[in-house]
Amino acid sequence: MDSDRQTTGHHRPLTQRVEGATAPTGRDWCRTSPATVGREVELDLIESALAGLRRREGRTVFLLGEAGIGKSRLADECARRAGVPVLRGRGSRSRAGIPFHPFAEALASRFRVGGPPQEKELAPYRPVLARLIPEWRRWYPAAVPGSLVDLGEALLRVLAVLGQDDGCLLVLEDLHDADSETVAVLEYLIDNLAGLPVMLLATMRPDPGSALDLLRAADRRRAATVADLQPLTEPQVVAIAAGYLGIPADEVPEPVVARLTEYGNGNPYLVEELLADLIGSGLLLRRHPAGWCTSGDLSTTFPATIVQFSGQRLDQLDPRVREDVLIAASLGTRFSLTVLQTVTGHDAPTLFAHLGSAAAAGLIVPDPASPDHYTFRHGFTAQALLAGISPAEHAALARHAATTLQQADPALPGSLCQLVAELRMAAADPTGAALLYAEAGNRALADGLPGTAVQLLERAQGLAAAADRTAVTESLVLALAEARRLDHAFALAETLPMAGATMLSTERRVALHTRLAWAAVVDEHRTHTVTQVAAARALLHDGGTPEQAAALMVIEGQLALLPGQEQPSFDPIRSAREAAETAERAGLPVLACQAWQLLATGPPRPPNSRPWRPGTPSTPTPSTSRGSSPLGLWLVVASHIKIPIWDTARTRRVTAQTRPTTR
Ligand SMILES: Nc1ncnc2c1ncn2[C@@H]1O[C@H](COP(=O)(O)OP(=O)(O)O)[C@@H](O)[C@H]1O
Ligand SMILES: [Mg+2]
């Protein structure tokens, strides 16, 4: 693994200079939340166990939860609140070979300096206890091996003596890493605590093993209380960040909140690591005199500790499983089995065997919501795994996946299009990615999702090669108009090339101006409407095709309806009728709808008729009444199902479907 990555995280980000902001130095911020956030239920449980201690009601409380979820924090809180002698020991993988290590550590924390407790009633047990503490062997050289029960009993006696005034607290942490002898002695303690002034607080991860078996068994027979620590909620995550940064919660910068929510998994350790990494990479900066601000794209970095954490799990896998897990990671945090099978080419039994191994290693879990999908166990896992391989390996994986998927189905239906766009990006092929993002954007527009379409097309526009940029910009202008972001659409349309090989054809430019003019008139924006209609007309020779002329006529008719508009020089009713007929003849339902809409909402009457009031529908003639013709019906349908009125392909489909019932 690249050593730079190990120490500084993912790619070294390019940060921008931010006025009045500096990288924090020294102990400029807290590095952990000073206040314990949330965990009210667990703290109540701890309080009630401590209260029982004062009544000599011995009790065991287990804190169960994944790494970093906050077990030690609660154990610290318990020790701080206890107000009685505290002994602390912890299980440790590196010391797993040393029997009773957690107990030895706990006793040593209390007696190493002062020597063995001298109370008379402990005399028979001191040689047994000397087994645990090497320093005591000078007093008891003939430390007796003793049985597990002897040791358990000796520990209970010591604890009882220590707690004889107000009680005492034994904290044993990380028991998932403890040796099985420790677990056996622990079981003896748990079963014999009642009636002693001793509280036992034990923490562990839910890893399979003898400690978890003990916890479950004790829980079942109510010999212990188990608090299963769940991920923190989003507001709690923000509160931790606020405490960490030393600011009120509503001042945590929004991009930081988004990143912590996406990758923090409600896990305080991950939240702190992500914050430390953002600060260390210069993406989160101290703003003077107070507060924090972000600089640049926060997704360009990833904490090295998390990368290592995930990398260790990956390295324990069979190389073939490892490769499949990396391919899956390149497909995203949630991936489809069908897609993974296409990319890997495995038969189903092999694929499931590999996925089973990855699941057993705690990297992935089946998605309960969809049988064809798996997800990485944490939001960060996929990104962390990819950050742990070289950029070249990642690019090669992504290229292979993209090519295989495109060969398998060049149409890339549904979400595959965007997925392959992302793979092309990861494969350092921005031009290929741009075309696919543009395709996905155009599809979103056709599906009536202009917001999504704008996002995808903006991404495409930023990546497109010069030869593709005009077409992408054209689509983006249309999407912006559909999303009613007109100022942006007009400004972008201005940037389209007016000459040269990449210029749009006259027909497409007319269509674009006509579309913008319609958007402007719908938005009651007179000046823009006039400008766009004029731009379209300037491009048309002899007034253009009947369809082009009809489209502009409808817009001018709508313009004449706007409040305060002067009497038009043409007859809008006749124009609208002509436009509708032209549209029907040419099979352009969208245009026909616009024309019918103009007729239905009542264009101004000729000067000698009664004054028309905006908003008063004119009485349609029987042949034009809504719902009595396919197009009238389409108007009703369109207004109900919110299909973009410009989506001709879809409109044709819908009108085709409605026709049989209306003829
Ligand atoms: N509820 C909480 N409020 C504030 N900080 C927390 C909270 N829980 C955990 N932390 C912080 O998150 C980090 C990881 O918590 P820790 O207790 O060490 O996790 P665990 O022991 O479960 O692995 C620590 O820095 C801790 O202070
Ligand atoms: Mg801990």
Which residue's CA is the nearest one to ligand 1's atom 26? 73
- Tell me the average pLDDT across 543-552: 88
Residues 298 and 333 in one domain: no
Give the tens place of pLDDT for each residue, 313-355: 787 789 999 999 999 999 988 899 999 999 999 999 999 999 9
Residue that wins the pLDDT comparison between 606 and 189:
189
State yes or no: pLDDT of 22 exceeds 80: no
Place 145 in a pLDDT band, splitting at 50, 70 and 90: low
- The set of residues, in sequence order, having a beta carbon less than 8 Å from that of 256 and lying 6+ positions away, is 241, 275, 278, 284, 292, 294, 298
Residue type at position 189 = L
Residues 58 and 203 in one domain: yes
- Tell me the average pLDDT across 83-95: 81
Ligand closest to CA 269: 1
122 domain-assigned? yes
- Tell me the average pLDDT across 381-399: 89
Query: What rounded mean pLDDT belongs to the chain?
Result: 81
State yes or no: pLDDT of 378 exceeds 80: no
Q: Is 32 in the pocket of ligand 1 (CB under 6 A)?
A: yes
pLDDT at 348: 95
pLDDT at 608: 45
Give the Å distance between the CA of 109 and the centre of ligand 2: 17
One DSSP character per residue, 195-228 reads: TSSEEEEEEE---SSHHHHHHHHHHHTTSSEEEE
Q: Is 37 in the pocket of ligand 1 (CB under 6 A)?
A: yes
Residue that wins the pLDDT comparison between 13 and 142:
142
Residue finishing a domain among 302, 332, 348? 302
Q: Is 515 in the pocket of ligand 1 (CB under 6 A)?
A: no
pLDDT at 256: 94
Closest CA to 441 of 461, 424, 455, 420: 455
Most confident of 242-246, 582-586, 590-594: 242-246
The total number of structural domains that make up the chain: 3
587 domain-assigned? no
Residues 250 and 320 in one domain: no
Q: Which atom of ligand 1 is nearest to the CA of 229?
A: 22
- Tell me the average pLDDT across 174-201: 90
Q: Which atom of ligand 1 is nearest to the CA of 63?
A: 22
For ligand 1, mutation pick of 42, 72, 172, 274 (most atoms within 8 Å of CB): 72
536 domain-assigned? no
Give the Å distance between the CA of 190 and the centre of ligand 2: 21
Which residue's CA is the nearest one to ligand 1's atom 23? 68
Q: Is the dihedral of CA 425, 297, 67, 52 positive or negative?
A: negative
One DSSP character per residue, 361-413 reads: TTSEEE-TT-TTEEEESSTTHHHHHHHTS-HHHHHHHHHHHHHHHHHH-TT-T
Q: Which atom of ligand 1 is nearest to the CA of 37?
A: 3
- Cβ atoms 363, 299 nearer than 8 A: no
Ligand closest to CA 90: 2
pLDDT at 332: 86
Residue finishing a domain among 247, 274, 302? 302
Residues 224 and 238 in one domain: no
pLDDT at 233: 94
Give the Å distance between the CA of 231 and the centre of ligand 1: 11
Residue that wins the pLDDT comparison between 572 and 596:
596
Neighbouring-strand partners of residue 292: 286
Place 594 in a pLDDT band, splitting at 50, 70 and 90: confident
State yes or no: pLDDT of 643 exceeds 70: no
- Cβ atoms 332, 421 nearer than 8 A: no
Q: Is 127 in the pocket of ligand 1 (CB under 6 A)?
A: no
Residue that wins the pLDDT comparison between 69 and 621:
69
Q: Considering the chain, what percentage of its residues have pLDDT values greater than 90?
A: 41
Q: Domain range for residue 361? A: 306-439
193: which DSSP letter? -
State yes or no: pLDDT of 243 exceeds 50: yes
Q: CATH number of the domain that 342 lies in?
A: 1.10.10
Residue that wins the pLDDT comparison between 48 and 657:
48
Ligand closest to CA 92: 2
Closest CA to 279 of 662, 638, 13, 660: 13
Give the tens place of pLDDT for each residue, 449-491: 888 899 899 999 999 999 999 999 999 999 999 888 999 999 9
Q: Which atom of ligand 1 is nearest to the CA of 66?
A: 22
Give the Å distance between the CA of 67 and the centre of ligand 2: 7
Give the strand pairing for 21-22 and 284-287. antiparallel
Give the tens place of pLDDT for each residue, 505-547: 889 999 999 999 999 998 888 899 999 999 999 998 787 888 9
Neighbouring-strand partners of residue 89: 172
Q: Is 305 in the pocket of ligand 1 (CB under 6 A)?
A: no
pLDDT at 141: 65
Residues 85 and 13 in one domain: no
162 domain-assigned? yes
What is the Cα–Cα distance from 524 to 563, expressed in whole angstroms? 9
Least confidently predicted of 20-29, 213-222, 379-388, 502-511: 20-29
457 domain-assigned? no
Q: CATH number of the domain that 202 lies in?
A: 3.40.50.300
State yes or no: pLDDT of 112 exceeds 90: no
Q: Which atom of ligand 1 is nearest to the CA of 271?
A: 12
State yes or no: pLDDT of 499 exceeds 90: no
What is the Cα–Cα distance from 305 to 110, expressed in whole angstroms? 33
- Tell me the average pLDDT across 91-113: 75
Give the tens place of pLDDT for each residue, 416-432: 999 999 999 999 999 99
Which residue's CA is the nearest one to ligand 1's atom 25? 32
- Tell me the average pLDDT across 420-447: 94
- Tell me the average pLDDT across 650-654: 41
- Cβ atoms 223, 60 nearer than 8 A: yes
Q: Is 236 in the pocket of ligand 1 (CB under 6 A)?
A: no
Residue that wins the pLDDT comparison between 19 and 226:
226
pLDDT at 1: 31
Residues 109 and 251 in one domain: no
pLDDT at 641: 37
Residue finishing a domain among 439, 460, 484? 439
State yes or no: pLDDT of 17 exceeds 80: no
Place 80 in a pLDDT band, splitting at 50, 70 and 90: very high
Structure tokens at 403: 């090519």
Residue that wins the pLDDT comparison between 74 and 523:
74
Give the Å distance between the CA of 445 and the centre of ligand 1: 45
pLDDT at 12: 36
Ligand closest to CA 66: 1
548 domain-assigned? no
Ligand closest to CA 67: 1
Give the Å distance between the CA of 270 and the centre of ligand 1: 9
Cα separations in angstroms, 483 against 435, 454, 473, 532, 579: 21, 8, 15, 18, 26
Residues 338 and 279 in one domain: no
State yes or no: pLDDT of 597 exceeds 90: no
pLDDT at 557: 86
Residues 165 and 52 in one domain: yes
Give the Å distance between the CA of 237 and the centre of ligand 1: 11
Residues 214 and 288 in one domain: no
- Tell me the average pLDDT across 567-580: 79
Closest CA to 553 of 527, 586, 581, 585: 581
476 domain-assigned? no
Give the Å distance between the CA of 72 and the centre of ligand 1: 6
607: which DSSP letter? T
Closest CA to 171 of 129, 110, 220, 117: 110
Cα separations in angstroms, 167 against 11, 200, 442: 53, 11, 71
Residues 219 and 237 in one domain: no
Residues 105 and 14 in one domain: no
- Tell me the average pLDDT across 389-409: 96
For ligand 1, mutation pick of 176, 269, 270, 305 (most atoms within 8 Å of CB): 269
Give the Å distance between the CA of 45 and the centre of ligand 1: 18
Ligand closest to CA 309: 1
49 domain-assigned? yes
Tokens 């494969």 label which residue?
A: 427
Q: Is 33 in the pocket of ligand 1 (CB under 6 A)?
A: yes
What is the Cα–Cα distance from 549 to 557, expressed in whole angstroms? 12
pLDDT at 21: 56
Place 14 in a pLDDT band, splitting at 50, 70 and 90: very low
Q: Which atom of ligand 1 is nearest to the CA of 76?
A: 17
pTM reported for the whole predicted model: 0.56
Residues 218 and 72 in one domain: yes
Q: Is 403 in the pocket of ligand 1 (CB under 6 A)?
A: no
